[in-house]
């Protein structure tokens, strides 16, 4: 059997009308040198198309199975363990939460901690999967996806887009009242929109944002963990360690020792 080295590609969205819905595209193909991939919570929603062997997954103790050939993964607050086949071929689209309702007629919050077969949600994903499978290059798949999305998305109100982008934005609000004011919602309306977009309460969203900032800082910087915890808004080192471990099952120090090139992904 020929062993093909793994190749991974990333690209930002180039079409202005689609950019409000797509964060970026990615593709990975080849035979990996690892058997298990652990994906930590990263605050991302992805549509993923698989053209290789089936991938086994496990979330927690009770939930396990095989990934469908095209599926959506919602924002997660627990790690997912993947059992990697000998050869894999994936194309992925990382979405803003506001895009999901436009594309699937369902709020993104319902996909929290799930892996959902897109062909069971909308029949047109079967055709889309075949079209993407026939593309020879990453750039062809991006062009096809952007054109496909253009016919299905419509404008999102700026307030909703600002909230949808909160986990990746420069908005540093740390209170529910402050977040509501920053996106010009009442507190009550904020709670409803946060649950619709993220599947969690406003208070939990702020906690999740703090964790995500800490994960990125631990991964990319060489600052002390004490400094990172303080800058991300934790009361003390014990608070930082406890909350980080709640999401990942690891202490910040253990994650730093095991980190790979890709934030939130650990391989064995």
Residue-wise pLDDT for 50-74, tens only, equals 999 889 999 876 678 899 999 999 9
Measured distance CA(195)–CA(184) in Å, rounded: 17
Which CATH number belongs to the domain containing residue 162 in this structure?
Answer: 1.10.10.60
- 2 part of a folded domain: no
pLDDT of 3: 42
Closest CA to 99 of 17, 209, 212, 202: 17
- pTM comes to 0.93
Residue 181 — φ and ψ, nearest 5°? -65, -35
pLDDT of 62: 63
Mean pLDDT of 158-172: 91
- Distance of CA 197 to CAs 153, 164, 213, 236, Å? 16, 7, 19, 30
Q: Which residue has the tokens 């540093």?
A: 172
| Total count of domains within the chain | 2
Judgement on whether residues 257 and 194 belong to the same structural domain of the protein: yes
Measured distance CA(67)–CA(139) in Å, rounded: 24
Which of 150, 182, 211 is where one domain is finished?
150
pLDDT of 42: 96
Residue 176 — φ and ψ, nearest 5°? -65, -45
- 268 part of a folded domain: no
Q: Which residue has the tokens 């120090």?
A: 253
């Amino acid at each position: 059997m020929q062993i093909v080295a793994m190749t991974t590609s990333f690209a930002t969205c180039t079409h202005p009308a689609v950019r409000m819905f797509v964060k970026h595209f990615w593709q990975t193909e080849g035979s990996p040198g690892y058997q298990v991939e652990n994906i930590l919570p990263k605050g991302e929603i992805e549509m993923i198309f698989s053209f290789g062997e089936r991938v086994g997954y496990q979330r927690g103790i009770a939930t396990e199975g095989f990934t469908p050939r095209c599926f959506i993964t919602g924002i997660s607050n627990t790690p997912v363990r993947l059992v990697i086949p000998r050869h894999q071929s994936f194309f992925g689209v990382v979405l803003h939460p506001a895009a999901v309702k436009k594309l699937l007629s369902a709020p993104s919050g319902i996909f929290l901690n799930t892996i959902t077969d897109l062909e069971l949600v909308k029949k047109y994903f079967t055709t889309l999967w075949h079209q993407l499978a026939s593309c020879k290059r990453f750039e062809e798949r991006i062009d096809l996806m952007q054109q496909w999305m253009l016919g299905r998305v419509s404008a999102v109100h700026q307030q909703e887009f600002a909230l949808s982008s909160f986990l990746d934005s420069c908005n540093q609000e740390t209170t529910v009242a402050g977040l509501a004011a920053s996106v010009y919602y009442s507190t009550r309306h904020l709670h409803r929109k946060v649950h619709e977009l993220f599947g969690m309460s406003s208070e939990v969203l702020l906690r999740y944002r703090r964790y995500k900032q800490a994960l990125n800082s631990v991964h990319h910087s060489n600052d002390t963990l004490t400094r990172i915890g303080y800058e991300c808004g934790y009361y003390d080192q014990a608070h930082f360690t406890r909350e980080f471990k709640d999401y990942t099952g690891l202490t910040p120090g253990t994650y730093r020792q095991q980190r790979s090139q890709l934030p939130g992904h650990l391989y064995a």
